[in-house]
Amino acid sequence: MNLSPDWVPLLAARGWETRHWSQLGSAHAPDTELMRWARAEGHVVLTQDLDFSQLLFATRDGGPSVVLLRMENEFDAAARARVCAALAQAEAALAAGALLTISGRRVRLRRLPLVP
């Protein structure tokens, strides 16, 4: 819920099946509910919420994959292009289970499960 629904057509135009949680569940649903749905449906969670990466670390689950955006302006065209390029490059890893963190300067990929 913390990302604009404008991401849906942008990602769909690049061939990724995309949904916004506002179309699927309650805005007040706990993060664990969204994670359960994404894991069951084979979807990747795209978010700016650090709670999702913390959930992956705490549970040591192998999925769902999470893409964590750490950008100042999600509406910036260059930032969106950077996100799409990083998603395309990490597509196989995300299908297998990964945490992809994209910031203004860096892209970091960690395979799941996350272990200390």
Residue-by-residue DSSP string for 88-103: HHTHHHHHH-EEEEEE
The string of pLDDT tens digits covering residues 36-89 is: 999 999 999 999 999 999 999 999 999 999 999 998 888 899 999 999 999 999
pTM: 0.93
CB under 8 Å to 42, separation ≥6 — which residues?
A: 64
Q: What pLDDT score does 75 carry?
A: 85
Do residues 34 and 21 touch, judged by C-beta distance below 8 A? yes
Q: Does residue 2 surpass a pLDDT of 90?
A: no
Q: What pLDDT score does 1 carry?
A: 63
Q: What pLDDT score does 115 carry?
A: 85
Residue with tokens 């069951």: 40
3-state DSSP assignment of residue 44: coil
